[in-house]
Amino acid sequence: MPRFEYAPAPESRSIVDIRSSYGLFINGSFVDPADGGSRKTVNPATEEVLAEVAEAGESDVDSAVRAARRAYDEVWGPMRGADRAKYLYRLARLIQERARELAVLESIDNGKPIRESRDVDIPLVAAHFFYYAGWADKLRHAGFGPDPRPIGVAGQVIPWNFPLLMLAWKIAPALAGGNTVVLKPAETTPLTALAFAEVCQQADLPPGVVNIVTGGGETGRLLVEHPGIDKVAFTGSTEVGRAIAKSVAGTTKRLTLELGGKAANIIFDDAPVDQAVEGIVNGIFFNQGHVCCAGSRLLVQESIVDDVLARLRDRMAQLRVGDPLDKNTDVGAINSAAQLERIRELSAAGEAEGADRWSPPCVLPDRGYWFAPTLFTGVSQAHRIAREEIFGPVLSVLTFRTPAEAIEKANNTPYGLSAGVWTEKGSRILDVAAKLRAGVVWANTFNKFDPTSPFGGYKESGYGREGGRHGLEAYLAH
């Protein structure tokens, strides 16, 4: 397949104005931490320091929770749903107005290609606020009883893979339901959450309704263990999710967990192969594979495996790895040195355990954190690369002969977040989807998201649903 060269098409970063340092956003203002410190956030594509960001300590988290409680008791809880909706619509419109700036900021802080932050992340962020704004005055019709009430103050901890989108998944339904929030972004990607704090100021959101406490895992722990929190919502690793579940056990706090995944993407012999190859690429190389629902285990019917792999290798050779701000880039930078190390370690384990490793020729930039798109064949179910979440651009390929074998292998994982099925037979899609233990099953597509659609997992992928009408339930007492 010929490789077409493109001239560089860099998005200008002049639209973003990154301050040299950021405080905590508590009770409607940016404040210096009382007992915390600060951390640097870097651009993972260049290792350039972007800003010094405050780290909230115990008394800072306490101030944020108290501010959220006051706002809940005095303003946001008693407010009519229709009035809350006006604020949510205002937030949504401001996000749309500032979309380009937020997309550039997200790509700089996270390393993801601008094409994705511009066309996927930020439009979905606005869509979530629009969608939940619509529910704010209709909660009685959501199917949760005649008079659903808010829960109170929500403590929310989010990861670094979709920083602003995860914020929207958490904050929009919470506010629509009449709750107030204290949110901790991931330490490597705090900048768009802090920009969102400015958006809250611009929208004249009452002080204390949204509080953003930046910091590391310790700040997250302080938040979820704070006795003034009524509800904890967490997205991240299964390991930290488990620790949070333990700390919340025995309290009256409500908990939703959205954890890891090891999704099977199943290609049957009657699948439209070219479309399937696009779906495979989108399933594992979108966002550098830093996706909890990534199609990281490819299950291909044995009779077509040679054809699928040949076309997949050709397609992978077309992927452009490099500058996240270049509009031609398909695969950006790995989010942190620690994550790069984890991907390297698991990929080395794949080779050591006997799988065959392949990457297309690709020149990686000298500075920053990079990993070439990688394909492992000859993978067995016992290999670590078939069992553990790699959270990087690494695909493990397994084969099957019958639908029953495909289902058994797909379900042979401690996770259960998502799956994909590729076949031209509608009856087979329905049959296989019903037998897969996965919260989301995509048919002849992959990694499609919509605010109206619930998302969440089985088994070690966590519990509770985010998105759609179901996503409201986690923030309503009924």
Binding site for ligand NDP (CB under 6 A): 157-161, 184, 186-187, 216-217, 220-221, 224, 235-237, 240, 243-244, 259-260, 292, 339, 342, 389, 391
CB of 246 to ligand NDP, least distance (A): 10
CB of 240 to ligand NDP, least distance (A): 4
Nearer Cβ to ligand NDP (56/209): 56
Q: Which of 106, 187, 258, 389 is catalytic?
A: 258
CB of 120 to ligand NDP, least distance (A): 16
CB of 77 to ligand NDP, least distance (A): 25
Which residue's Cβ lies closest to ligand NDP? 220
CB of 457 to ligand NDP, least distance (A): 9
285/392 Cα distance (integer angstroms): 8
Is residue 35 within 8 Å of 63, Cβ to Cβ?
Answer: no
174/53 Cα distance (integer angstroms): 25
258 in catalytic set: yes
143/473 Cα distance (integer angstroms): 9
276/422 Cα distance (integer angstroms): 7
Nearer Cβ to ligand NDP (260/420): 260
C-alpha pair distances (Å), 445 with each of 267, 420, 441:
11, 7, 9
CB of 464 to ligand NDP, least distance (A): 14
Rg (CA), the chain: 22
Q: Is the dihedral of CA 93, 96, 101, 102 positive or negative?
A: positive
Q: Which of 396, 323, 415 is nearest to 104 (CA)?
A: 323
On the CB side of 244, CA atoms within 13 Å amount to 33
Nearer Cβ to ligand NDP (55/326): 55
35/75 Cα distance (integer angstroms): 28
Nearer Cβ to ligand NDP (56/406): 56
471/475 Cα distance (integer angstroms): 8
CB proximity list for 348: less than 8 A, separation 6 or greater: none
CB of 237 to ligand NDP, least distance (A): 3
Q: In sequence order, which ranges of 177-324 are alpha helices (DSSP H)?
A: 191-202, 217-225, 238-248, 273-285, 305-316
Q: Which of 11, 292, 389, 466 is catalytic?
A: 292
410/266 Cα distance (integer angstroms): 8
CB of 247 to ligand NDP, least distance (A): 8
φ, ψ at 51 (rounded to 5°): -165, 160
Nearer Cβ to ligand NDP (208/241): 241
Nearer Cβ to ligand NDP (11/62): 62
Question: CA end-to-end span of the chain, whole Å?
Answer: 58
Is residue 56 within 8 Å of 36, Cβ to Cβ?
Answer: yes
Nearer Cβ to ligand NDP (178/416): 416
CB of 58 to ligand NDP, least distance (A): 14
Nearer Cβ to ligand NDP (225/278): 225
- Residue carrying the six token digits 């967490």: 234
Q: Which of 200, 187, 143, 26 is nearest to 472 (CA)?
A: 143
Nearer Cβ to ligand NDP (233/244): 244
293 in catalytic set: no
DSSP 228: T
CB proximity list for 174: less than 8 A, separation 6 or greater: 154, 156, 180, 181, 231, 233, 475
421/106 Cα distance (integer angstroms): 31
CA angle 110, 114, 115 (to 5 degrees): 130
Give the residue numbers marked as catalytic: 258, 292
